[in-house]
Structure 1
């Protein structure tokens, strides 16, 4: 849905007041199925918001605070999210294909069926995140930190995992090194060993 820019701007301003007054004034942002590509979001906070099934494709959100937000089913295709904060956010069913997510924070985030195909997550903080059927195919996870993260049915075919940190402290239940159509499932210790080998040498 094309946004009514004036209406969305008013909602963003109310949300800013809501955050600044700790909920005493203003109103928490809640939008659904809005194309935000024509909006200038640089001046407005996007944390603690409900922004579902919205389009952020190709825009610049580097260092943006999106923490404690619900961003389910939204798309961030080819979006610049370097240094962005998704801590404690729900990004389940969101699409980050080809996005720049370098040094972003996804700690304590919920990523169920989230798509990170060809995304760059170098140096990203994934500590204590929930990754269930998450698609990291051909993604770059160079030096990413996965301590205390849960991996279950995570797709990793073609992913660059060199230097990935926290493998021993992560909850590695199962990974799929094949495809959705032709899965090759590794579980528990076999999955951990595969990850460990990839982190040391991605050949």
Structure 2
């Protein structure tokens, strides 16, 4: 009876661990597999979904891969490891990137317009010149990220961690910034424009006094 009881308890504990342990990454993606998936995705895009297959890199490890100029519009990359990846000039418009790890990645001049980056880890990520128009970066970790000359028009940064972010020359027209964390006046004063941005009222008043050009209409 005692052995049976121990067996039942053991099975219960194993079941509980399986239910509460986060799902592990599928593993480091092989270059040949990536190439095959990208080819199928290109066909899927080119035929408007009639042929090929939408790329699904969900929970995969793509860290440190060279994916310059890659075509991943509308791709699924949720909860993926993309740390130290090279995605310069990549097309990731409308891609699903929620919860993915981009730590140390290079996304210089990448197209991330309309992309979903909610809860993504972008700490130390290079997003210089990136197109982030309409992107959702709510609750993302952008600490130490480079957003120099990036276009964040109508992007959502609600609750995002912006500690030590470089916003030099960034376009922040209509950007949701009111609940963004660790946002400072020196950081915002380096931006190119803040027209129509959703800022904390007190922060906005201070900036209007110190840098009124940020809110002036375009010529």
Range into which the TM-score falls when normalised by the shorter chain: 0.7 to 0.9
Residues 157 and 191 of structure 1, relative CA distance in 2, 3 Å threshold:
closer
Identify the residue that residue 153 of structure 1 maps to in structure 2.
179
Runs of 4 or more above 3 Å deviation:
6-9, 194-200
Counterpart Cα distance in 1 of 2:154 and 2:88: 22
Q: Give 5+ residue unaligned stretches, structure 1.
A: 173-186
Identify the residue that residue 132 of structure 1 maps to in structure 2.
158
Normalized per residue, which structure has more helix? Answer: 2
Q: Give 5+ residue unaligned stretches, structure 2.
A: 1-24, 213-219
Say whether 1:97 aligns with 2:123.
yes
**Worse overlay, 22-31 or 160-169:** 160-169
Say whether 1:3 aligns with 2:15.
no
Counterpart Cα distance in 2 of 1:138 and 1:198: 20
Counterpart Cα distance in 1 of 2:68 and 2:57: 17
Cα displacement (A) at 1:45: 1.2
Say whether 1:67 aligns with 2:93.
yes
Of 189, 196, 201, the match for 1:169? 196
Q: Would the aligned equivalents of 1:103 and 1:123 in 2 still touch at CA under 8 Å? A: yes
Of 55, 60, 65, the match for 1:34? 60
Identify the residue that residue 191 of structure 1 maps to in structure 2.
203
Of 119, 130, 134, the match for 1:108? 134
Cα displacement (A) at 1:107: 0.5
**Worse overlay, 87-96 or 27-36:** 27-36
Residues paired across the two proteins, number: 185
Identify the residue that residue 19 of structure 2 maps to in structure 1.
none
Residues 50 and 100 of structure 1, relative CA distance in 2, 3 Å threshold:
same
TM-score by length of 1: 0.82
Counterpart Cα distance in 2 of 1:87 and 1:75: 18
Counterpart Cα distance in 1 of 2:126 and 2:182: 18
